[in-house]
Structure 1
Amino acid sequence: MFTGRSLLIATKHRKETVIAPLFERKFGLHCFTSDVFDTDTLGTFTGEIARKKNVLETLRDKCHMAAQATTADLVVASEGSFGAHPTIFMAHADDEWVMLKDYRNDIEIVAREISTDTNFYGELISSKTALEAFAERVQFPSHGIILKPSETNCHSIIKGITSHSELIAGFKKLHSEYGSVYAETDMRALYNPTRMKVIEKATEKLIAKIKNHCPQCHTPGFDIGEVKPGLPCEMCGSPTRSTLSVVYQCKSCQHEEEKKYPRGIRFEDPMYCDYCNP
């Protein structure tokens, strides 16, 4: 279905450096990028343009924008967000989504990777000493820094700082003009190698999903559509909230298959039982 076709990677932040090699090696695709559209119009990490839609809707908009601007019929795009981890208390997380849209065959496949491996951070800086400490903490200069007058003020923003001379000059300029400087990590992929690695992992998950075909109609993307709890407690046998089975669903022919014990265990530890450990 994909061999010999061209895949447009909808990015302006060099994500093709990790996405293209994986797709070309696994599917024999020719990957390319284009500058005839601007994905930043849908939202920016640097704060000038707020993202108006959720991740999935934004991804679809990215793919549609790219397809319409180039007439490509096979597009991949990624979208990320940073903040508190959904399950690990007090941990920052990088939440990356990658979507493949095959307009020729009407296929949409999505994968997600949540990682605590991120340097996401911001701080109000009052001195060069504090600035140098901040830079060391966020792995500068291999990872870029953004400077602006305050956390919410994007006027006179200085982006993509990757050298000490730029960092000091930017700090002096903003401090003299505004009396305050807010420093934050530049989370755009081309300035953040740590984020780029998470995007690569999300892409690997996407490829694994693509390679999983529906056993009935052979459409790619036969994926988990429902997770059923109820794994029995090892001590009392009561159903727990842990996963008992997953249901794979085909978006094309609606075929379903239920697979029990996806974690490879038939009983849950009593510590996760609401009866044994209320």
Structure 2
Amino acid sequence: MFKGRKLLIATIHGKEKVMQPILESKLKVKVVKNKFFNTDELGTFSGEIEREGSAIETLRKKCFIAMKKNQVDLILASEGSFGAHPFYFFTSANEEFVMLKDFKNDIEIVVKVLSTKTNFLTEEIIDFHSLLNFAEKIKFPSHALILKSDYKNFKHCCKGITNQKTLIEKYEFFQSVSEKVIAETDMRAMFNPTRMQVIEEVTKKLIEKCKSLCPNCKIPGFDVKEVISGLPCKWCGNPTESTLKYIYECQKCNFKLEKKYPHKKENEDPMYCNNCNP
């Protein structure tokens, strides 16, 4: 379905550096360059333009605009967000989504990776020593940083700082024009090798999902639609909150397939049973 077709990666931030070799090798597509679409129109990490809507909604917009402006009907877009990890306290996380949109065949394949592999950080700088400490924490200069005059509604912003000479010059400038100096990690992919690793990881996950074909119509992207809990307790046999089965569904023909015991166990340890261990 994808072999020999042109695929456009909707980015201006160099993500094709890690994505292109994987996509061309595994999907046998020909990756072409995005020439006409500035993806920053839909939101920037530094905050000049706020992203409207969810990551998935933004991905669909990226794919649609890229398709219209570049006249390519197979589009891949990614969207990252950064902040506190939803499960681990005091840990930052990178949530990276990738969408492959095939307008010719009306198919949409989406995958997500939630990773603790990130140097996302923001901090108010009180003096040059604290700026150097911040730079060290985010792995500067291999990773770029941003200086802003405030967290939000800032008047001045300098992105992509990658050497100490520029860092000193910009810091002195911000001191002269602003009451605050805010430092942030530059999370744009071409300035953040750590994020690039997560983008590579999510691209490989996309390939796995593309190779999952519907048993009925052979359309790629056959995936879990619903997770059913109720794995029985090993002692009392009562249903627990652990996963009993997955329900797979094809987005094209709506064929469904039930797979019991996806974690390769037919009962649960009593420690996870609300009856045996209330």
What's the TM-score once normalised by structure 2's chain length?
0.97
Q: Determine the structure 2 residue equivalent to 1:139.
A: 139
The answer to whether structure 1 residue 32 and structure 2 residue 26 are counterparts is: no
Q: Deviations over 1:123-168 (max 9, x none)?
A: 1001111011111111111111000112124321000111111111
CA distance in 2, matches of 1:140, 1:230: 48
What is the CA distance between 1:18 and its match in structure 2? Answer: 1.1
Q: Which moved more, 1:6-15 or 1:161-170?
A: 161-170
TM-superposed deviation, 1:177: 1.1
What is residue 66 of structure 2 aligned with on the other side?
A: 66
Counterpart in the other structure of 1:221? 221
How far does the alpha carbon of each residue in 1:170-223 deviate from its partner, in whole angstroms, 9 at most, with x for none?
111101211320101011111111111111111111111111110110011111
Pairwise CA RMSD: 1.1
How do 1:1-278 residues align onto structure 2 when only pairs under 5 Å count?
1-278=1-278
Identity of aligned residues (%): 52
> TM-score, normalization: structure 1?
0.97
Aligned-residue offset at 1:234: 2.6
Q: Measure the CA separation in 2 of the matches of 1:89 and 1:179.
A: 32
Shift of residue 90 of structure 1? Answer: 2.8
SS at match of 1:263: coil
Distance of 2:126 and 2:110 partners within structure 1: 43
Q: State the AA in 2 paired with 1:125.
A: I
Matched to 2:108, the amino acid is E
Q: Which amino acid aligns with 1:270?
A: P
Question: What secondary structure is seen at the aligned counterpart in 2 of 1:59?
Answer: helix
The DSSP-based 3-state class of the residue aligned with 2:18 is helix
Shift of 1:237: 2.4
Deviates more, 1:204-213 or 1:236-245: 236-245
Distance 2:141 2:276 in 1: 51
- C-alpha distance in 1 between matches for 2:96 and 2:139: 21
Native 8 Å contact 2:95 2:115 kept in 1 = yes
Please state whether the residue corresponding to 1:117 is helix, strand or coil. coil
Q: Which amino acid aligns with 1:259?
A: K
The answer to whether the 8 A contact 2:35-2:70 is kept is no
Distance 1:88 1:234 in 2: 29
Distance apart, 1:74 and its partner CA: 0.3
Secondary structure of 1:53's counterpart equals coil
* 1:53–1:246 distance in 2 versus 1, CA, 3 Å: same
SS at match of 2:133: helix
Structure 2: how far apart are the matches of 1:175 and 1:268?
60
Residues in 2 aligned to 1:151 and 1:271: alpha-carbon distance in whole angstroms: 46
Give the AA of the match of 1:123.
E
* SS of residue in 2 equivalent to 1:220: coil
SS of the residue corresponding to residue 24 of structure 1 reads helix
Match for 2:176: what amino acid?
S
Offset of 1:251 from its aligned partner?
0.7
The CA deviation string for residues 14-55 of structure 1, in whole angstroms up to 9 with x for no partner, is: 000111111100121110122211111111101000001111
Q: Is the 8 A contact 2:80 2:95 kept in 1?
A: yes
Distance 2:48 2:91 in 1: 26
Equivalent AA in structure 2 for residue 269 of structure 1: D
1:274 CA drift (Å)? 2.2
For 2:269 and 2:96, locate their aligned partners in 1 and report how far apart those are by CA, in whole Å.
31
Residue ranges of structure 2 left out of the alignment (5+ in a row): none
